[in-house]
Chains A and B, each alone.
Chain A
Amino acid sequence: MRASGVLALLLLGCGLSVARAAAPSPPDLSGVWLPVEQLATPWPAKLPLTDAAAQRYAKFHPDRDEPAGFCMPLGTPRNTLAGTGPMEVLQTSDRVYFIFQPNLLNAETRRVYLDGRSRAAEEDRIPTWLGSSRGRWEGGTLVAETTDLEPQAILNAQGLSHGGALVVRERWQLSRDAKRGEVLVDELTLVDPESFTTPIALRRVFVRAPDARLAEGQCSEGLWIDRLWRHRLAEHAAARRAPGTTGGDRPADAAGGARQ
């Protein structure tokens, strides 16, 4: 009885090992990647916009309506589509993280969970700039779906907008390019019936860049330095007008000057 039990366990163990060996391990996407602009598909020349989306698009003014101009995130999927800088991928068995640190902007980390966790209940969902992503491996392809995206975000620098119901479907896989060797390809489909009459399909391609670094952006640095130094200049000017004063209380007009 005991021997047969041990044998059964051994057989079970062998079966599990075979099963494990049969399942192909997913490819390793981790590392730093740079976008290849020449291999990216452009936005369609004629965008399939609904009337509401066309009206929003026509009204876009970059100085007023560009969130990045106010140090807000690019958001998903613009961070992936923009092609403005390196992307870092961190991968474990149950998650894949895509990290973007676009030039001078703050870091954005897209978390794609592969552990089968459920989405929040409809009434508990809060739109975010990076959205909520779930994914799974289909052979060598990472299939991801992102929802709950903040409609204040835009999709490109021309101000293409989307609604709160936007769904971003992505298929990430390693491929080879004759000239560049191994590349990481993201096939994206943007589905948003409120904004697009048909889904928009785009491709983005990245090449490995082990020496590239993601720089730490400080988006509001300019704003702060500008304010600090305007204040300091006003303070020094006030001090020159009133010789003999050595600091202490701030000149009344200095604070005002800082807020012009």
Chain B
Amino acid sequence: MKRLRHPPALLLAALAMSVLASVQAWADPARVARDMNGVWLPDSRRSDRAPSQLPLRPEAAEAQRRYRETYGPVDPTIDDANASCITEPMPYPVRLIAQYPFEILFTTGRMTMFFEIYGSVRRIPIGAPPAVLESLPTAMGTSRGHWEGDVLVVETTRLRHEGAGLPSGDPPVSNSRRIVERWSIGTDEEGKKQLRNDMTIEDPVVFTAPVSYRMRYKWSPDIEVGEYLCQQDIWDQNLQGQPSAVPWRQ
């Protein structure tokens, strides 16, 4: 029998493969899903902020410059759709640092996210065949998920532009925008249960490179997702005959 030239290397490779195989065998998406079920709050201290400089393609930077020159300065009381209660599209509700909770509920073949902000509902079929893209773009987009070991990988496309992008003075949004989230469960340095979302936003028409965020969320079993009544002050004005406390809604 011919003597092996690098037995330690082969042995190491075999060992590594068996470890990888065991990790795969240990993967337990059902357990991870049970751990993800429930209410979460953004962990602002452990999450990334939006980068101050986005890697804009020259055409996108020029579109933004031209928009600002033509319509600027941007006045949030008029130009920001969100001030008028228009839902800001994904990834806003998962990238939010403000303490608005969201709830995850796993049911057969589906993860559903209930966001307090704007009361949005996001449906993520898991392991389903590609959706038939007949619907119009929406704020939550069209999502599909699949498990890679203990990580739920969610891909989102068909995002509407309204509520994000130029009218708010932000860079444009293209139809090629695609968000890939990698959701997993871990613990923070204090040993508390942590929900992790490693997110990449691709938009080759707008960005020269994908933009990545690392978001972390705190397990919050004592909180319920509340009602988000964006138009409450207009309704109150109507009931009480008083001018709004919000100047641009008077």
Residues of A whose CB lies within 8 Å of any CB of B are 30, 64, 67, 70-73, 90-92, 95, 97, 99, 101, 106-109, 111, 128-130, 152, 213-214, 216, 218-221, 223-224, 227-228, 231, 235, 246-248, 250, 255, 258-259
Contact = CB atoms under 8 A, between A and B. Distances in A.
B190 interface: no
B63 interface: no
B139 A90 contact: no
B18 interface: no
Given A91-B107, A109-B114, A224 B120 contact: no
Contact of A109 (B121, B135, B162, B248): B121
Contacts of A92: 105, 107
Nearest to A101: B121
Contacts of B29: none
A246 B69 contact: yes
Contacts of B235: 67, 70, 72, 152
A259 B250 contact: yes
Nearest to A126: B226
Counting chain B residues whose Cβ lies within 8 A of the other chain, the interface size class is: 35 or more
Contacts of A111: 224
Contact of A247 (B69, B167, B226, B238): B69
Contacts of A216: 87, 120, 138-140
Interface stretch (B19-27, B74-82, B144-152, B172-180): B74-82
Given A220-B84, A258-B78, A71 B230 contact: yes
18 contacts: A64-B238, A70-B234, A72-B232, A92-B105, A92-B107, A109-B119, A130-B227, A213-B135, A216-B140, A220-B230, A223-B84, A224-B86, A227-B84, A228-B167, A235-B71, A248-B72, A250-B75, A259-B250
A74 to B, nearest CB: 12
B47 interface: no
Nearest to A28: B108
Given A92-B107, A218-B86, A106 B81 contact: no
Contacts of B248: 259
Contacts of B208: none
Contacts of B140: 216
Given A72-B232, A246-B70, A128 B107 contact: no
Contacts of A259: 248, 250
A70 B144 CA distance: 34
B54 interface: no
Nearest to B78: A231
B92 to A, nearest CB: 14
B212 interface: no
Q: Which 4 A-B pairs have the closest CB atoms?
A: A224-B84, A220-B85, A71-B231, A70-B235
A219 B85 CA distance: 8
A255 B71 CA distance: 13
B100 interface: no
Nearest to B248: A259
A90 B112 contact: yes
Contacts of B229: 72-73, 129
Contacts of B72: 247-248
Given A216-B139, A220-B230, A107 B250 contact: no
B19 to A, nearest CB: 35
Nearest to A258: B78
Interface string B96-114: 0000000001011010101
